[in-house]
A and B are shown apart, each in its own frame.
Chain A
Amino acid sequence: MMGAQRSLWLGAGLLLAALAVLLLGSGVGSTGFDSVLHAGSDPVAWQILWDIRLPRTLGAWMAGGLLGLAGAVAQGLFRNPLADPFLLGSASGAALGVALALALFGTSPFATQWLVRLGLTGAAFAGAVLGVVLTLALAKGVQHTLRLLLAGVIVGVVLGATRDLVTIAAPDILQAMQGFTLGSTGFVGWSACGVMAGMLFASLLVAWSLGRVLDGLALGEATAISLGLPLAAVRVALVAVLAMATGAAVAQTGLIAFVGLAAPHLVRSIVKTTHGRLVVLSAFMGGLLLMAADVLARWVIAPQELPVGVLTAVLGGSYLLWLMHRRRQPGSVL
């Protein structure tokens, strides 16, 4: 059981690294390490540490974890190494939800009253769920992988175009929209952390317990069915996990690129393992990736911030490229 041991070590290593980055992240911000040292005597420094830095660093880990997990599930479910969590229309749905909320807010009392209750995160989550539901309706269920993929792409394009129409009609929201599409962990508080922690725990549990089905599915749908795996029911459960995990992450932090795609590949490049372990390790990897990117985002040009999505793409992308370059073997992607 070399693989089991290696994945155990990798999991422990990833968690340890995350802990180290968490400690580092509590010291990085607009003022730097001195605020940690003075946190005992200075109430504002304490407030910054406790109310802003800790929740946003932890929140970045959890959002990254949700995306990494969703990416591993998507790649297993669609048996496609290019699948990512935003595939089923959740990203474009969430972006449309945010665009509508921003454009309608303050225009009519009725809309404003509803939007105050919903909030931007609520609008993003509702949009993400709507996007996935639309995809499922177009694909007439979840049983045809190819139909599902195609429907996801089409819904993505149509909702994206609608979002563009909304931003053209209300150009004031362009900058705020850009902030959302590049992702930000700046406003993640404890309540958001709680929501994401619950979602991450539930999704991990479901995805981990369905890992064996994903292993079977990797051999092809016909083989999986002949092995007696309950494919139909499991597909529904996995799509639900995919949608909820992505929706929760996107609602709290915006569209963060590449974590969902890169995290499973990074795990696979280190250890070959079963899907049950892969989803857990991908969550840890995604969390570490986004957390590191978040710390960098507020450190590089402090007290200003870089969009965190740009950094995840640069960090994850360059590492993946380096991996591909290093082990170029015939017949293998990574």
Chain B
Amino acid sequence: MALLGQVLEVPDALRIWRAIDAGVSAAAQSLPPQASKLRVYYEVSTGGYAAGAQSFIGEMMARLGVQNIVEPQLGPFPRINPEYVVRANPDLIMIGSRNVQGLEQRPGWAGLRAIRGRHICVFTPEESDVLVRPGPRMAEAARVMAHCIAQKGAP
């Protein structure tokens, strides 16, 4: 990390990193304990591109303590078969507002637990911008995601 700071000519790289890390941890601690039971599907873009456990979005979900329905061996951003989601039946769906069109009309999806209970986090373009770009705003992304989990994840 110190070396990275040198390369990027950022003198206090470690301090920035600690701030981000603390921000993410704080967001994780703000969540109620039952959030760890939530099984979440994050769709990065239409066509079934999911955020896998290996992606930074998946790592963020892991830090917040929720479970990703996409198995780690599928890689960072797999394009999954829609029936995989139906089979996994997530409790909560996270999706950007650009991609949410027609989500409930997808064949077979109307019966999903998340859709029946309207447990869907629709992120505005500004929120998506923070969430889907890895960088120094990760603490902010964690807050956005935690806010959504606290609001929509309640059974």
Contacts and interface: CB of A to CB of B under 8 A. Distances in A.
Given A175-B44, A190-B107, A116 B101 contact: yes
B89 A44 contact: yes
Given A48-B108, A106-B98, A184-B47, A29 B83 contact: yes
Given A30-B83, A304-B81, A176 B102 contact: no
Interface string A163-175: 0000000001101
Interface in A197-250: none
Interface residues of B, number: 31
B104 to A, nearest CB: 11
Contacts, number: 103
A307 B81 CA distance: 11
Contact of B105 (A44, A48, A189, A304): A189
Contact of A44 (B49, B86, B98, B128): B86
B101 A30 contact: no
A159 B120 CA distance: 35
Contacts of A44: 86-87, 89
Interface in B49-87: 49, 74, 78-84, 86-87
Contacts of A173: 45, 98
Given A48-B83, A303-B84, A305-B79, A176 B107 contact: no
Nearest to B97: A106
A106 B80 CA distance: 25
Interface stretch (A49-57, A72-80, A83-91, A312-320): A49-57
A304 B45 contact: no
Interface string A23-50: 0000001110000000000001001100
A16 interface: no
Contact of B124 (A29, A56, A106, A180): A106
Contacts of A139: none
Contacts of A303: 74, 80-81, 84
Residue picked from B49, B81, B87, B125, most chain A C-beta under 10 Å: B81
A48 B86 contact: yes
A30 B106 contact: no
B80 A304 contact: yes
A29 B84 CA distance: 8
A102 B99 CA distance: 8
Nearest to A119: B102
A265 interface: no
Nearest to A118: B101
Contacts of B124: 106
A52 B82 contact: yes
